[in-house]
Structure 1
Amino acid sequence: MMKASDLLVRCLEEEGVEYVFGLPGEELEDLLFSLRESEITFIPVRHEQGAAFMADVHGRLTGEAGVCLATLGPGATNLITGVADAHLDKSPLVAITGQGGRERLHKESHQALDIVHMFEPVVKWNSQITDAETIPESVRKAFKLAEFEKPGATHLEFPEDVADEDVTASVLPTRPRVRRPDPDRDSLTRATDLVEAAESPLVLAGNGAVRTRAARRLRQLVEHVGMPVIATYMGKGAVSDRLDASLLTLNSGPVGEAASAMDRADCVIAVGYDIAEHDPKSWNPDRDKTVIHVDHEPAEVYEHYNPDVELVADISATLDELRERLDSVEGPEWCSGLRERIVEDVSRKPDADEPFSVKRTLPYLREAMADGDVLISDVGSHKMAIARHFPSYEPNTCIISNGLASMGIAVPGGIAADLALETNVVVATGDGGFLMNAAEIETATRLDLGFTIVVFNDDDYGLISEKQVEHTGEQFGTGLTNPDFVTFAESFGIEGHRPETWTAVKSTLEDAIASDEMVLVEIPLA
């Protein structure tokens, strides 16, 4: 016999949970004290959205479900943006929310909302725990479904009266993850024939190529066959951008050289590609390309993404099979000139009198970071520059949200990354996204973490301004005013820097990233 809240925490321990990110609440009292007595570290944060973003990035970096916790009502509604982000970015996450006693849920009552139905569109599965004896099954199911390909978010609601009950159930042991079978022979044969018949085949590496740890097999395939590779923004690093085959990402290059390669390609092998990442209408507008879909799930039905062959199986096993069947094809020579221009563009450093820009800061940032260091990008105009112009050499070292693409993920994501990894962590954000969750700097300092925050400041919601000007020739509703970010950083007890020359940008970034301390570097944009 044990308390239900103790049983739930023991189930979390069985799942290997190290951290629970969240905010305390009255309805969570029993669960919080059960966490205190466990091996799990509860990390109180400053906003529930930050907690969900931390769990989201933890899941994406480790492949193990991150866990976030919030109370009922506004706690749960604040949590939902980060949960939705994990859902569309295919990041394993388990959300737990408190709830009032069951005796008051049939009527209108203080802070009570139907959270289970509210979460339904943004999770793979969710449930209210109404019977304490079902806790082991509920927790095991939440983690199993969150981590099963394609991963995503799940949710459990835990009423306070259930948490206080005595229960006789025992922890349900974990089991190895379910694996998809190898690809079927007929589909492999058809895919091989299509690639060999193509004049300019190309690999499109998506989120799944990184998420499934299939990067090593993809690199082996690319090196064996000799095809060029273009990554989506979330597929960066699946193939090293040092390889001659790499054309970086969609839209990389001074005048969209990567996009021109997509235009010329007559056969696209889409590996782990989610159409939520990047609309295929942009690279298959005429629907005339041969498409081979390689993923754990069948392709979404969409007129611009209607694959000729679908290899629905374990991605790594599928890539191995293709490598064994394919001979070397024409090779990346048909687009080698494009790569040269892309590499020259992304590596060019600014002239001394050139105004500050995100694009020209990135070569200095890339030089200051080791191959295995992790860059986490917030959402905004700087994200587009990072996606297109920041070379990535290892999988999961450039974290970009491009499913839900919610602003505010960077600083919470930096906390999750610094807790999970031994490498240096850099957070890149705009002034707009930064202030959405900047309070989490206090969480980071409380945990004695050390990572670098780079704030690109244009006093504007710059990406929206750019689009407005592009469409209408003018902008409205996007201008901002900001605090002194150096003073703001110092108020948290961390270093703040605002370099005024490109030489100072270079040295400041090098010193900050090499440091074990929290450092904020503001880059004021022209």
Structure 2
Amino acid sequence: MNTAEVLVESLEREGVECVFGIPGEETEALLFALRDSEVTFVPTRHEQGAAFMADVHGRLTGTAGVCLSTLGPGATNLLTGVADANLDKAPLVAITGQGGLERLHKESHQALDVVDMFEPVTKWNAQISDPDIVHESVRKAFKVAEYEKPGATHVELPEDVASEECDVRPLDRRERVRRPDPDEPSIDAVRELLADADRPICIAGNGAVRTDASAALRALASDYDLPVAATYMGKGAVSDADDHSLLTLDSGDHEEASDAIQSADLVVTVGYDIAEHDPADWNPSGETTIVHLDSDPAEVYEHYNPDVEVVADIAAAVRELNACCADLDAEFETDWYDDVRDHIVADVTPEINAGDPFTHRGVVTVLRDAMADDDVLVSDVGTHKMVIAQNFRTFEPNTCIVSNGLASMGISVPGGLAADLAVDSNVVAATGDGGFMMNAAEIETATRLDCGYTILLFRDDEYRLIADEQTDHRGEHFGTEFSNPDFQTFAESFGIEAYRPDGWDELRDDLEAAVESDEMAVVEVVLG
């Protein structure tokens, strides 16, 4: 076997089913090894789309998605999706080709220091410079990508090394490394804080969803009447149908959830990274009493300086917190947040009148009604993302996917493809016209794979989020407007259904038909 064949056999050993990417001259040996394997190579239309597909696969499954590019421009195109996965804690393994080792010491065609370029956006990355390290490199790439906190890794395979004979064989996949249970001194310190608390509150972050801590957190909230507010990436950890849910931080226009946190006398964060939501919004004085439950220690920040840090397996830490409350026979106040929840729920479900123009908030409300609780929504970035994050009531973990850490436009169309392959439920990819056009070519990839998901396309002919911010700052906006193609004709050119509703009743009918269908569809909503 050659090195490329051992690498592909290692992918098989890791359980990889798909590799998303674009072929290149320097990856020829690898591509033909994939052809002869049980791993499906999915040619995409852009490397960024391939990386976003691997990113969303990792978010939804917990196993590393894999993307492939050649050297030079292929690798630079891949970089954005890899960075997005790393900042959003999604397990991803990127593989890039490279020129032969004999020419890398000098200036040569398309040659860049790709390993150095990927260093800031990965947990680990390396060049396979010797055939005899390929098995270790692949095993390490997956192990590091998937253990807490997950993220992106990268391996580079020079074309001459790929074709060399190789004597090693793949290493077996092992059980994922698990963080330990909480230590007794930390739990004792939490118990003391709980004993003095009357109005504790929880913040559910990405880790509460990512580590299957949702069941434990729901039990904690229910057993002890603890309110829970979620970050954008923690949506669904506690169902928004639960009376203990304060939905999302900064839900609606009035920031009631952040205000509620400031009214609490103890804040317990569960799987929370400060990159998800700036603690300065809910702890402006820096004086809030905080318990940090996470798999890593807290970042050092004046607005987030926890009194106690429980660094452990997150689900186990929440179960121990529940036990703490039982030991104390805890009865916390509840009436202080009831009105807050009522205001938030009313705010995120606006009244819709038949003659009103389409708005983001109204359309998101209609979309929620058209989707089942376990259907998956993948949001692009823009004004609609902010509305979805704040207003889209989420009932199950990992059913509302947003790009949050990097906040990268263009993720939803390729992300919807990956979601459709990964889950059995219906999938909706929500996007603005700006983000849609960045990776709209991946509709061809989706139809080629016989995917069936709905693209909800908000059209306003501008980068509205930026336009609105400029207008708030300066009273005017500049550089934000553009024109669009006829989206119905564009969608139909791929052989898929296209809708352009004229009113709210038609929107409801079109979304229900599209979401429940097993076919690809675009629903274009022209905003007022």
| TM-score for the superposition, normalised by structure 2 | 0.98
1:480-519 maps to which residues of 2 (within 5 A)?
A: 480-519=482-521
In the TM superposition, residue 324 of structure 1 has moved relative to its aligned partner by: 1.0
Cα displacement string for residues 131-181 of structure 1 (whole angstroms, at most 9, x for unaligned residues): 111111000000000001000000000000011011110111111111111
Residues 4 and 162 in structure 1, CA contact (< 8 A), matched pair in contact too: yes
* Secondary structure of the corresponding residue to residue 268 of structure 2: strand
Q: CA separation in 2, counterparts of 1:486 and 1:346?
A: 30
1:469 — aligned with what? Answer: 471
* Secondary structure of the corresponding residue to residue 297 of structure 1: coil
Cα displacement string for residues 185-225 of structure 1 (whole angstroms, at most 9, x for unaligned residues): 11111112212312321100001110111111111111112
Q: CA separation in 2, counterparts of 1:328 and 1:461?
A: 50
Residues 377 and 428 in structure 1, CA contact (< 8 A), matched pair in contact too: yes
Q: CA separation in 2, counterparts of 1:129 and 1:99?
A: 10
In the TM superposition, residue 331 of structure 1 has moved relative to its aligned partner by: 4.3
* Secondary structure of the corresponding residue to residue 167 of structure 1: coil
1:342 — aligned with what? Answer: 344
Do residues 45 (structure 1) and 47 (structure 2) align? no
Residues 51 and 81 in structure 2, CA contact (< 8 A), matched pair in contact too: yes
Q: CA separation in 2, counterparts of 1:469 and 1:187?
A: 48
In the TM superposition, residue 330 of structure 1 has moved relative to its aligned partner by: 2.1
Residues 23 and 31 in structure 2, CA contact (< 8 A), matched pair in contact too: yes
Cα displacement string for residues 263-314 of structure 1 (whole angstroms, at most 9, x for unaligned residues): 2122111111111111111111110111111100001111111111000000
Q: CA separation in 1, counterparts of 2:275 and 2:253?
A: 25
Match of 2:428 among 426, 429, 432: 426
* More moved, 474-483 vs 435-444: 474-483
Cα displacement string for residues 442-495 of structure 1 (whole angstroms, at most 9, x for unaligned residues): 000000110000011111111111111111211111111111111111111111
Q: CA separation in 1, counterparts of 2:414 and 2:74?
A: 17
2:240 — aligned with what? Answer: 241
1:286 — aligned with what? Answer: 285
Cα displacement string for residues 10-63 of structure 1 (whole angstroms, at most 9, x for unaligned residues): 000000101100000000000000000111110000000000000000000000
2:153 — aligned with what? Answer: 154
Residues 86 and 153 in structure 1, CA contact (< 8 A), matched pair in contact too: yes
Do residues 447 (structure 1) and 449 (structure 2) align? yes
Q: CA separation in 2, counterparts of 1:253 and 1:165?
A: 59
AA of the residue aligned to 1:165? E
2:17 — aligned with what? Answer: 18
Residues 254 and 342 in structure 1, CA contact (< 8 A), matched pair in contact too: no
Q: CA separation in 2, counterparts of 1:352 and 1:525?
A: 15
1:133-172 maps to which residues of 2 (within 5 A)?
A: 133-172=132-171
Residues 228 and 331 in structure 1, CA contact (< 8 A), matched pair in contact too: no
Structure 1, gaps ≥5 residues long: none
1:415 — aligned with what? Answer: 417
Q: CA separation in 2, counterparts of 1:118 and 1:109?
A: 17
Q: CA separation in 2, counterparts of 1:200 and 1:28?
A: 58
In the TM superposition, residue 328 of structure 1 has moved relative to its aligned partner by: 3.6
* More moved, 275-284 vs 4-13: 275-284
Cα displacement string for residues 346-397 of structure 1 (whole angstroms, at most 9, x for unaligned residues): 2334111111101011121111111100000000000000000000000000
AA of the residue aligned to 2:488? V
Structure 2, gaps ≥5 residues long: none
Residues 259 and 282 in structure 2, CA contact (< 8 A), matched pair in contact too: no
* Secondary structure of the corresponding residue to residue 240 of structure 2: coil
Residues 198 and 333 in structure 2, CA contact (< 8 A), matched pair in contact too: no
Q: CA separation in 1, counterparts of 2:454 and 2:330?
A: 43
Residues 296 and 315 in structure 1, CA contact (< 8 A), matched pair in contact too: yes
Residues 349 and 363 in structure 1, CA contact (< 8 A), matched pair in contact too: no
Match of 1:330 among 325, 329, 332: 332
* Secondary structure of the corresponding residue to residue 223 of structure 1: helix
1:356 — aligned with what? Answer: 358
1:83 — aligned with what? Answer: 82
* More moved, 97-106 vs 355-364: 355-364
Q: CA separation in 2, counterparts of 1:519 and 1:196?
A: 54
Q: CA separation in 2, counterparts of 1:515 and 1:46?
A: 25
Q: CA separation in 2, counterparts of 1:13 and 1:196?
A: 51
AA of the residue aligned to 2:241? R
* Secondary structure of the corresponding residue to residue 154 of structure 2: strand
Q: CA separation in 2, counterparts of 1:260 and 1:298?
A: 26
Task: Sort the Cα spacing of 1:216 and 1:331 in 2 relative to 1 into closer, same or farther, 3 A.
Answer: farther
Q: CA separation in 2, counterparts of 1:125 and 1:404?
A: 18
1:67 — aligned with what? Answer: 66
* Secondary structure of the corresponding residue to residue 95 of structure 2: strand
* Secondary structure of the corresponding residue to residue 11 of structure 2: helix
Cα displacement string for residues 235-274 of structure 1 (whole angstroms, at most 9, x for unaligned residues): 0001100110001001113422222212212211111111
In the TM superposition, residue 525 of structure 1 has moved relative to its aligned partner by: 0.7
Q: CA separation in 1, counterparts of 2:393 and 2:282?
A: 21
Do residues 232 (structure 1) and 231 (structure 2) align? yes
Residues 196 and 329 in structure 1, CA contact (< 8 A), matched pair in contact too: no
2:198 — aligned with what? Answer: 199
AA of the residue aligned to 2:210? R
AA of the residue aligned to 2:226? M
Residues 350 and 361 in structure 2, CA contact (< 8 A), matched pair in contact too: no
* Secondary structure of the corresponding residue to residue 498 of structure 2: strand
Q: CA separation in 2, counterparts of 1:331 and 1:131?
A: 63
Match of 1:370 among 362, 372, 392: 372
Residues 91 and 152 in structure 1, CA contact (< 8 A), matched pair in contact too: yes
AA of the residue aligned to 2:371? M
Residues 254 and 341 in structure 1, CA contact (< 8 A), matched pair in contact too: no
The aligned length equals: 525
1:268 — aligned with what? Answer: 267
1:104 — aligned with what? Answer: 103
Q: CA separation in 2, counterparts of 1:382 and 1:362?
A: 8
Q: CA separation in 2, counterparts of 1:263 and 1:473?
A: 32
Q: CA separation in 1, counterparts of 2:183 and 2:82?
A: 35
Residues 71 and 97 in structure 2, CA contact (< 8 A), matched pair in contact too: yes
AA of the residue aligned to 1:139? V
AA of the residue aligned to 2:115? V
AA of the residue aligned to 1:48? E
Match of 1:524 among 507, 520, 526: 526
Q: CA separation in 1, counterparts of 2:99 and 2:203?
A: 48
Q: CA separation in 1, counterparts of 2:347 and 2:375?
A: 22
Q: CA separation in 1, counterparts of 2:112 and 2:331?
A: 58
Residues 245 and 332 in structure 1, CA contact (< 8 A), matched pair in contact too: no
* Secondary structure of the corresponding residue to residue 366 of structure 2: helix
| TM-score for the superposition, normalised by structure 1 | 0.99
* Secondary structure of the corresponding residue to residue 523 of structure 2: strand
Q: CA separation in 1, counterparts of 2:250 and 2:390?
A: 6
Q: CA separation in 2, counterparts of 1:319 and 1:255?
A: 30
